Amino acid sequence: MANSFRASKHGRKGEANHDAEFSCSLQELRSLMEIRGEEARIRIQECYGDINGLCARLRTSPVEGLDGKSEDIDRRKQQYGQNFIPPKKPKTFLHLVWEALQDVTLIILEVAAMISLGLSFYNPPDAERQYCGRAAGGLKDDSDGETGWIEGAAILLSVVCVVLVTAFNDWSKEKQFRGLQSRIEQEQKFTVVRGGQVVQIKVSEIVVGDVAQVKYGDLLPADGVLIQGNDLKIDESSLTGESDHVKKSLDKDPMLLSGTHVMEGSGKMLVTAVGVNSQSGIIFMLLGASEEGGGGGGGGDSEEKKEKKKECLKIRERKDKKKKNTEMQPLNGEPEKKINLPKKEKSVLQGKLTKLAVQIGKAGLFMSTLTVIILITRFLIDTFVIQGVAWSSECMPIYVQFLVKFFIIGVTVLVVAVPEGLPLAVTIALAYSVKKMMKDNNLVRHLDACETMGNATAICSDKTGTLTMNRMTVVQAYVAGHHYRKVPEAELIPTKTLDLLILGIGVNCAYTTKIMPPERDGGLARQVGNKTECALLGLTLDLHRDYQAIRNEIPEEKLFKVYTFNSVRKSMSTVMKNYDGSYRMFSKGASEILLKKCCRILTVTGESRVFKPRDRDDLVKKVVESMASEGLRTICLAYRDFPVSEGEPDWDNEALILTGLTCIAVVGIEDPVRPEVPDAIRKCQRAGITVRMVTGDNINTARAIATKCGILHPGDDFLCLEGKEFNRRIRNELGEIEQERIDKIWPKLKVLARSSPTDKHTLVKGIIDSTVMEQRQVVAVTGDGTNDGPALKKADVGFAMGIAGTDVAKEASDIILTDDNFSSIVKAVMWGRNVYDSISKFLQFQLTVNVVAVIVAFTGACITQDSPLKAVQMLWVNLIMDTFASLALATEPPTEALLLRNPYGRNKPLISRTMMKNILGHAVYQLTTIFTLLFTGEKLFDIDSGRNAPLHSPPSEHYTIVFNTFVLMQIFNEVNARKIHGERNVFEGVFRNPIFCTIILGTLLVQILIVQFGGKPFSCVSLNLEQWLWCILLGFGSLLWGQLVSSVPTSWLKFLTTAGHGTQQEEIPEEELEEMKDKDEIDHAEMELRRGQVLWCRGLNRIQTQIRVVNAFRDSVSPYEGLETPESRSSIHNFMTHPEFRIEDSEPQIPLIDENEGEDEPPTKRNSFAVPPPLTGLSSLPPNENNNALDRIVPVHKDVPRSVLVPPNSVGLMSCPGSPLHSLETSL
């Protein structure tokens, strides 16, 4: 395609005439953007003449852009809308309160409190009082008659407290998310031309009529029509489902759509639709509308909306069909299939916790039911059998009051047992970490990435910009037959050569790349755009020439054709047309690639001589390799003339165009290693994390830099491979990747040089899928280019560069490094490990309270017919240990000590043996103290016993002391809980966490107030100083006891078990995988909750099914019999994953080498899917991937007809993890 902009006559003159009204309506532009391809070109020609006509109608200039006056911009915003899609309304505080009230235990408590309230106002006839039994004795004293209602009211009040606290937490979490979201959105800028100047503005400021510059890696922020383009290729899969890249040019398809990714090339576009009127905005609003419409009764949907919904579904269906039938057009020409990526598993931690919470909840439910049953039975036996009271209906209300009291006690046991603080603690820990990580230059996009990072075992890092400073400068040059060790003076280079060099650099570097004056005096000049090109432009300035003058003389529109840089070409070429009709092409690129295409070279005199292969080998050895061994990146600059006599060249035949070059110079570009990187890498290695470098540079440069960084240590056993060699080693004779071959390489591989994006993806996938180590590897990847998208997505945690990263990379990533610095990754590891430890600290504390409170309430209730801790007190304890403790313990700042141990790994239980020892050890101390006080306290303190008090009797000193000691022991134990690895000094660094100190002191103060002034509602009596001192002493005792517990070596306690293991993916029943196949991630937490409800019924069913499966195998029946194959459904690009405009999961379509699981079949059969033959016995089962025992066999339903086995078009079925085939294959 020749350069697409022909400066037509009125194109130049069509200066922006902003005063007249716009002669294009919004509707007209919207309908224009709905057509594509040739049809769109014809429509533009018919209606507007050409693109300049459209510019004139929109009162803008294709060259100068808008003039940028604020009144003009405002008028455009009014007429055509803003480039902003309104987010879904956040939930109101009341809504969150309502949600918090849905908690079952709270509802039960509310009901019980209501009944208790109602009954306290009921006065039974006095006459029959004495016949109702002993316990009903002093039911009402005169002084006490009015206070019976207090307990019910207090319970209601504390429920209100709990609800408000929960709602407030949810609200602040949501607010934080929105803040984070808007921060991500604000950081998005786009380049437009205004008033002839190229400026960067916020995406939301773009208006219709703007002329925007698009380049490789951009995510288009609005719809537009191409004005001029170089080799532009767009990935439109997010809108159409077409995985092929669409070529855009003025004469074929000039339409550019918002939400699509620029995969190659550059150009300019005229913005024609923004915000809700752009193509992705329309789909967005439809999805929003259909959600709300569906929610709000749906009946009121207007016809128009229904039409739109149909349209939306059509797009979806079209996309589905495309998904199944499209061939991927890989960069290297061989068609490959886009295979469904395996689902990314969501937070492991959340899964483990929810599982644990469900287990504890079940135990709590069991205990509370038991408590109620025992209380009722004892009461009935005591009243009707031992005292022999006759049944009478007058006593009914009193009996009911007892029942309600018992019921409330049961429910409070349940409330204390259910650790609803767990999810809260995770949220707080993660939200707090995310907020603090912002300060450490980590912008977290997905909360769980933060915690996954703590388990990372491998980091695959880019070189440029991450390990190095990305401030490139030319330091050596080979020009005019001489190798200069530093940049030569201009006088030393022949004029002819110098002119060619300067012209070639000026024209053949992207016009968006510039060197700007420093921001402050004495600073370094600012490099804008591609840093390698900046180095070359810097070279022209060092030679005292001005590249800008060349660009002013030859504006971008005059360039005839540009072959932009991409990862396959590894070079960039620009063609200029001379006045006499001949052409001249300038090229620059990786020296070893470009030198092979040179057949001449410029000499000392400035003339060219023949450049033979032997000369080339000499040059490579003496110059290129010597530069590379010093860690320099080598770039070759060359040119070629196409004389008129040879006729018009075939510009599409790249291989032919890019030969017969004449070499001008080879330059060595230095990119210094960041000073803080070697230390950061040392920390990683000490923390058990392997750092690997994956770079596109040549192997000598890569090795030199890796040694400087400390990735390679001389004398170690390591591998440094080039992409080609790596591919040769991991593929079998048929050219397919084999996991066993990767397994032989990756443990030693430290540097992968000259690697393509596909190699990076293959390596990451290979490490993640590997089973060589006993722990599954958790891989973090850094990337900045568009082509890094697949690897970033595949990794457990993807880091994108905030400064150098393209939009596509940022979309695919989990965390954005706002300073592009490797040492920020080390901070992320610290925070990730800290989250895990914070949760464990909280668990250790909470489970101790749980165990003690439940046992005390249970035993107390059974022996004394009344819980020593009253409902309201229990709720206060619950508040301390859930909400406050989660705040106090989840906000501990990380320390360097976290980096001194190896990663935990994905399968490590949340509660280690040491923690179990601490929990049980402290429980023993607390229970001993409480029971001693409960049963002998009245003798020790010489006070009245509080046991066996009748209903509604006033609170006693005895029970107040029990309650007070209990709470104080928890407060002191909270300090113990700060250490989970058995450290001695529990106070270390306590003042670095102000939140912790505040909460401890606050809780203490409130406790004093409750005991001294709480009175009847809290069932407390004020205590004297001596009693207080005893309580504090007993509380403080738990600190001393803690020292004793940590002295006992854990290795002696072999009988202790660990708890809180996660769910393995293989354990997930297939029905749930079926339900989840629409989602992108397996959300362990949601699953656990749902499972908790279903498990009770499913146990038996599952055993039966498993017996059936085992029998089926014995009868050697095909295990695939009657398995349904899920349709691969997909939503429109998953647009609504968040209320905000985030294009999630749009995979840039770079060929992923063999993503298939069944990798041993020949590649030709990729499209057809053969029905597997019946298995005879277990011998021919698919190879055991996960060594799971046979008891995890997925239920096979025999009642499904055989005919549904495999639909004709289910490509790539084996690798779809949602499919039963896959679960069967992995479980066997």
**Residues taking part in catalysis:** 462
Nearest to 455 by CA among 1063, 898, 1081, 1067: 898
Nearest to 1132 by CA among 338, 445, 291: 291
C-alpha span between 229 and 212 (Å, rounded) = 12
C-alpha span between 944 and 1169 (Å, rounded) = 82
Please name the residues in contact with 295: beta carbons below 8 A apart, sequence gap of 6 or more. Answer: none
- Per the DSSP assignment, residues forming a β-bridge with 598 are 661
- Per the DSSP assignment, residues forming a β-bridge with 477 are 484, 667
Cβ distance 328 to 244 under 8 Å? yes
Nearest to 888 by CA among 1001, 995, 988: 995
C-alpha span between 994 and 999 (Å, rounded) = 9
> What type of residue is 793?
K
C-alpha span between 829 and 64 (Å, rounded) = 48
Interior angle at CA 193, CA 188 and CA 195, nearest 5: 130
Nearest to 689 by CA among 702, 697, 680: 680
CB environment 532-562: b (16+ within 10 A), e (fewer): bbbbbbbbbebbebebeebeeebebbebebb
Q: What is the DSSP letter of 688?
A: T
Cβ distance 466 to 488 under 8 Å? no
Reported in sequence order, the residue ranges of 351-461 that DSSP labels E, i.e. its strands, are 442-444, 458-461
Q: Which helix (H) or strand (E) holds 692?
A: strand 690-694
Q: 267 is written with which tokens?
A: 């150009």
Rg of the chain in Å (alpha carbons): 36
DSSP result, 253-300: B-EE-TT-EEEEEEEEEEEEE-GGGSHHHHHHHHHHHHHHHHHTTSTT
Q: What is the DSSP letter of 336?
A: B
CA dihedral 891, 892, 894, 897 (to 10 degrees): -160
Cβ distance 794 to 341 under 8 Å? yes
Interior angle at CA 651, CA 647 and CA 653, nearest 5: 110
End-to-end CA distance of the chain: 55
Which conformational region is residue 494 in: left (phi greater than 0), alpha (psi within -120 to 50 degrees), or beta? beta
C-alpha span between 110 and 1020 (Å, rounded) = 22
Residue positions counted in the chain: 1228
Cβ distance 768 to 153 under 8 Å? no
C-alpha span between 911 and 869 (Å, rounded) = 28
Strands 779-783 and 797-801: parallel
Cβ distance 651 to 630 under 8 Å? no
> Three-state SS for 601?
strand
> What type of residue is 20?
A
Which conformational region is residue 905 in: left (phi greater than 0), alpha (psi within -120 to 50 degrees), or beta? left
C-alpha span between 987 and 508 (Å, rounded) = 63
